Amino acid sequence: MENWLTEATKASIVLIDGMALLIVLAGTVEAVVSGMRVFLRPDNGHERRAVWLRYARWLVAALTFQLAADILETSITTDWDSLARVGAIAAIRTFLNYFLDRDVEEIRSREREAQGANVTDHQPRSKVGA
């Protein structure tokens, strides 16, 4: 039974890492295509940020899948050197995921603030005494 679980876990790790690879590839292709369109047009910082924000979301998703594979790998790792290596990789991916996710949220927050400022700037003002 233990051998079967180990083999199933190894197959799952490969499958999940493959999904992460596909996510990175899809996100990169989308970012390159969108980026080329945006960079060839007159300067528009908002569109450029939107391209990088979408790309960051793809990367956060891929890192999440890779972390899942790392967690599975730690469950079948038998020697301390391998466990330390997997643990270090998982820690690095966790930090990358945290900071990337934080940057994405900061950009979203700035965009919401900018949209809020634009909405209040364009609202008609009421006439005094009307």
The pLDDT value recorded for residue 121 is 58
The pLDDT value recorded for residue 56 is 87
Model confidence band, residue 123 (pLDDT cutoffs 50, 70, 90): low
Q: Model-level pTM greater than 0.75?
A: no
DSSP 10-72: HHHHHHHHHHHHHHHHHHHHHHHHHHHHHHHSSP-HHHHHHHHHHHHHHHHHHHHHHHHHHHH
Element (H, E) at 113: helix 80-122
* Domain spans in the chain, listed from the N-terminal domain onward: 2-121
Within 10 A of 86 (CB to CB), how many other CB atoms are there?
19
